[in-house]
Every structure is written in structure tokens, then in C-alpha cells.
Amino acid sequence: MVVELKSGVYWVGYVDWNIKQFHGHEYSTHRGSTYNAYLIVDEKIALVDTVWGPYSQALIDHINEIIDIKKIDYVIANHAETDHSGGLPAVMKHIPNATVVVSEKGRESIPGHYHEDWNFKVVKTGDSISLGKNSLVFVSAQMLHWPDSMFTYLTGKNILMPNDAFGQHFASSSRFNDEVDTVEVYQEAIKYYANILTPFSDLVIRKIDEFKKLNIPVDIIAPSHGIIWRKDPLQIVSQYYEWAQGKNDGSAVIIYDTMWKGTEKMAQAMAKGLEKEGVKYKLFNVAISDRNDVLTEIFKTKGILIGSPTMNNGLLPTIMPILEDLKGLKFKNKVGAAFGTYGWSGENVKLIEEILEKAKIKILQEGIKFKWQPTKEELEKCVEFGRSFAQKMKAV
């Protein structure tokens, strides 16, 4: 259903209750998602972003509920990723002469996706387009999270449309943050930040500082996924600022994989050690856990203990995806250590420590490994390992 944000500004997107795997199968979306597009009716008419291609007709139907789609003058493509630009070809069939507004990098990436020679207008930070009473002002958000990413601000209505930033994969029958369970929304917002935006945290800080200096009024933040921030809209900006600084809750996670429970016994013994030192923790067998959820938990915490047996001179293949993510996401202010069992060659601890170094996670103590199944005495050593890790964690 079309929803009016402020007079003349409408949500015309699509609620996708059924998407459970995003980016192909890279990102789990347990709560579905939305593709938010906004229609602004002034003397000129603008559409800000579209929807994922399969839902183009729903977007077009929503637009036609308000105005004849042929009346659109401008289509703003804030970002080329297809969950937002996928509806462009279908929309542009109705308005082939409309202006497609893109960032400098969008001028490459939008045609790179659709290979159409639309009437493009390139804008950079500070450029504006008058719609009549109000204007659209553009701010480049390069690498937040693609080179083409751009924010659009509507003067007069004080609405910021920052595309992916401040969004969440959250399907709902409601459109606004004051109408939903905010605990659920924040869980999805932090997951989104942890899994997608973390590598760009320094840019997030710079962009927020830049925005604060502009001192522009913001009544509504309308991202391209999930709910729209209408009540106390800047709360999500403050929250991003905190996340970008890499603040953590002082707890730990133990992530491991195990073949015949030896490494798992070590993990559980280490958990006892953390507990004895009063450090809160969560324990994940990554082979049976949702990768994105575990990454979100790692994002929140300070300490990471990683365990794997040695297999074929390497680590268990099932633990590798999350370790690759740790290298790429480069979480800030984390400390870690390695452990695991082995049968003969025993490269596991060394390999995990190499990954920790590449992920810029400070190794707090030398890892431990035990041959075959750990003995009672060896498990006691694991408890002590957990204790000393906790003590060192609290000290840094």
C-alpha cells in the first residue's frame, strides 16, 4: 500500500516477505526486506530509487495510484546495486525522455548494468534540482557502500534519502519506526552494519561529521531498506557513529568447528575459564550457525577465540567462510586467540593466527593445540587458557 511520508512525498516500494537469502545466498534475511522507492510530487515529479527488478510492476502500480507514471520528470538512481536500480528498465519504458540523475560513478555503473542510453544527468555533492516549491540536494556517499552511492535530500520537507545507509532488512506491514518493534529493527540494523558497512567505518565517521557541519534539518530519514526513521530520526545516525568507532560490549565469542568433538570440548572448557573471570560469552559451532548472525555477534564483542582441528594440513573447510569474512570486514578493537585438536601435522593454530593477523585482530596469547582427544588435564589447561585470555582482555 502506498504511504504518504509528508504531503506530496510517498513510499511506493515493495515489501519482500519471502526473501530469506540476499546477495544471491551471501546474506541471510530472516525477517525479509523491503525495497523502498519514494515519489515526490511537486511542480516537477521525481522518483527516488526503484525496486529489485522482479517487483517492477508493483512499483509502477504504486506510482500510478498517485499520478500517471508518464508525468515523472526525474528518476534519481542513488545506487546501481540491482535491489534499487533493477526497476529502472521497466520504469524508463514508460518515460524514455525522463532525466536519470546519477553520481559521477553512477554514470558508469548504471549503464554498466543496463546498457541503455538514457538521458543521464550527473550530480556531485551540493548540486541541486528544483522541483518547484522544494529542491533535491545531492551528497556523494562514495564507498558507502559502492563507489556510486549517493544521498538525496529534499528541502522543505527535510527528508534525507540515504539509500542503503541506515537501512535494515526488515519486512513489515508498517513503514515507520514508531509503528514497529524497535528491538527487532535494531537487530537487523546492526546486522546490516556489521556485515556490509564495517569496512567503511572511517568513511561513515567522516560522512556523519560532514553532515553535522552542514546543520541541515532532518525530520525523516528514509533509507532504501526497512522502516523509515520518523520518530527521533537522528537516533540511527548516533548509533552508526558509535558502531563506526568499533565500540564493543566487553564480551567474547568462541567460534569453532569440530569433527569428533575434541575441539568442541576445548571450546567448552575455555568458556568455563571466561565464566570464572566474569566475562560474558557466546559459543558458536559455525558449521551449524548462520554466518551473518555470528558475524554480528563478533561485531558486538571484544574477544574472539577461534578453534578448528587440522585437516589435510589446513583448517576444516566449514570454518573458512567466516574466517574469510573476518579478513575482509576488518572489525575494529578486537582481540583473539586460536585453539584446536590435531592428529598428526597440526597446522591449525598457526593458520588461525595468520588469519587473525590479516584481520587485524590482536593476538592476546599463543594458541594451544592438543593431539587426538584432549585429556582431563588438557581440558583443565583450556580452562586456564580461557581465564588468562579473559584477564588479558580486560586489561587491554
Q: Which of 225, 302, 334, 387 binds ligand FEO (CB under 6 A)?
A: 225
Contact between 84 and ligand FEO per CB under 6 A = yes
With CB under 6 A as the contact rule, which of the stretches 76-84, 209-217, 333-341, 362-370 interacts with ligand FEO?
76-84
Residue 257 half-sphere exposure toward CB, CA atoms < 13 A: 22
CA distances from 254 to 214, 264, 302, 339 (A): 43, 10, 11, 10
Contact between 81 and ligand FEO per CB under 6 A = yes
- Secondary structure class of 67 (helix, strand, coil): coil
Q: Which of 31, 44, 62, 79 binds ligand FEO (CB under 6 A)?
A: 79
CA distances from 155 to 6, 76, 137, 152 (A): 12, 15, 7, 10
Place of cell 568458556: 271
- The reply to whether 79 belongs to the active site is yes
- Catalytic entry in 62, 84, 169, 225: 225
Strand 220-221 relative to strand 281-285: parallel, antiparallel, unpaired? unpaired
- Catalytic entry in 38, 42, 49, 79: 79
Is the peptide bond preceding residue 145 cis, with omega within 30 degrees of 0? yes
Q: How many CB atoms lie within 10 A of CB 26?
A: 13
Contact between 83 and ligand FEO per CB under 6 A = yes
Burial of 335 (0-12, 13-18, 19+ CB in 10 A): buried
In the bound state with ligand FEO, the residue whose beta carbon lies nearer, of 150 and 390, is 150
Contact between 207 and ligand FEO per CB under 6 A = no
In the bound state with ligand FEO, the residue whose beta carbon lies nearer, of 141 and 356, is 141
In the bound state with ligand FEO, the residue whose beta carbon lies nearer, of 62 and 225, is 225
- The reply to whether 27 belongs to the active site is no
- The reply to whether 25 belongs to the active site is no
Contact between 31 and ligand FEO per CB under 6 A = no
Angle (nearest 5°) at CA 356 between 350 and 358: 105
In the bound state with ligand FEO, the residue whose beta carbon lies nearer, of 164 and 353, is 164
| Catalytically annotated residues | 23, 79, 81, 83, 145, 164, 192, 225
- Give contact residues for ligand FEO (rule: CB under 6 A): 79, 81, 83-84, 145, 164, 224-225
